[in-house]
């Protein structure tokens, strides 16, 4: 069994432009085992799915202690690197954020998604504020001796409709540069779908780029060719599972 530090290093090494790591996001230990048995090289939670599985909405409505208990069970269930969708870190306060990251690392997780939208509020943190938050996370991880993979998510594209993505593209690039300087490990740009813009952000980012699969994103093969280093599925797997469950239940109750 690999150590937590080794798993963190293994996970970082999977992020290769043109040969992306594929993360079919899960929500509990059972779904993690199923995806691991299917050949996954790493496991990633999706906050929307984890919350929905508990009958809650996304946006840190799931109490943090439950999120930590859940990720700890997942880490115990599979011998693969596990990364946690930690939303906004469950705090706007820097000291509390650092404490929360220490708790995440104690579960065995080797990475997090960390978004720049103000989860319990509106809009995005400024570049400077979010950079300070990322630097604090890096400092906390270093103090624990774990090279935590900080997947810095920018919500520039999710917060704006696709026709406006070109208008806001430079803001996303600027944020990626600042987040890299602050200690981020990857740049996550959910909502970005245009092949030309995906290629451009991959070319201009010093960090490996993560794109989330949506109904109209390019295929995984196309995204690899565009330079993407990480492809994730977000809430898609959970939604597909629920639809299958409903279909099976309908066959029982509606026949």
Which tens digits make up the pLDDT trace of 121-154?
999 999 999 999 999 999 999 999 999 999 999 9
For range 18-36, the mean pLDDT: 98
Q: Which CATH superfamily is domain 4-253 in?
A: Phosphoenolpyruvate-binding domains (3.20.20.60)
E strands in 13-105? 21-23, 43-44, 82-85
Task: Please give the pLDDT value at position 1.
Answer: 64
pLDDT over 90 percentage in the chain:
97
Sheet of 82-85, strand order: 21-23, 230-232, 209-212, 186-188, 149-153, 111-115, 82-85, 43-44
- State the residue for tokens 């300070």: 132
CB atoms inside a 10 Å sphere around CB 3: 10
CA 205 vs. chain centroid, Å, equals 17
- The rounded radius of gyration (Å) of the Cα atoms in the chain is 18
Task: Judge residue 27's burial from the number of C-beta atoms within 10 Å of its C-beta, 0-12 exposed, 13-18 middle, 19 or more buried.
Answer: buried
Tens of pLDDT along 37-64? 999 999 999 999 999 999 999 999 999 9
Q: Give the domain ranges of the chain.
A: 4-253
Task: Please give the pLDDT value at position 222.
Answer: 98
For 5, 7, 79, the CA distances from 1, given in Å and listed in that order, are: 12, 9, 7
């Amino acid at each position: 069994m690999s150590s937590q530090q080794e798993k963190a290093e293994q996970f970082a090494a999977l992020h290769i432009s043109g040969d992306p790591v594929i993360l079919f996001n899960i929500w509990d230990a059972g779904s993690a085992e199923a995806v691991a048995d299917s050949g996954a090289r790493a496991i990633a939670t999706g906050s929307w799915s984890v919350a929905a599985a508990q009958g809650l909405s996304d946006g840190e409505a799931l109490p943090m202690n439950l999120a930590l208990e859940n990720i700890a069970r997942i880490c115990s269930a599979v011998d693969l690197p596990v990364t946690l969708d930690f939303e906004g870190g469950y705090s706007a306060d820097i000291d509390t954020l650092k404490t929360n990251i220490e708790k995440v690392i104690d579960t065995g997780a080797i990475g997090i998604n960390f978004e720049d939208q103000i989860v319990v509020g509106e809009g995005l943190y400024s570049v400077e504020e979010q950079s300070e938050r990322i630097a604090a996370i890096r400092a906390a991880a270093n103090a624990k001796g774990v090279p935590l993979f900080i997947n810095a998510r920018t919500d520039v594209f999710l917060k704006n409709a696709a026709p406006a993505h070109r208008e806001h593209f430079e803001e996303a690039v600027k944020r990626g540069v600042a987040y890299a300087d602050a200690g981020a490990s990857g740049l996550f740009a959910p909502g970005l779908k245009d092949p030309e813009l995906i290629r451009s952000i991959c070319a201009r980012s010093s960090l490996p780029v993560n794109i989330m699969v949506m109904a109209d994103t390019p295929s995984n093969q196309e995204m690899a060719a565009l330079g993407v280093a990480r492809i994730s599925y977000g809430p898609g797997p959970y939604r597909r599972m629920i639809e299958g469950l409903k279909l099976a239940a309908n066959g029982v109750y509606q026949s």
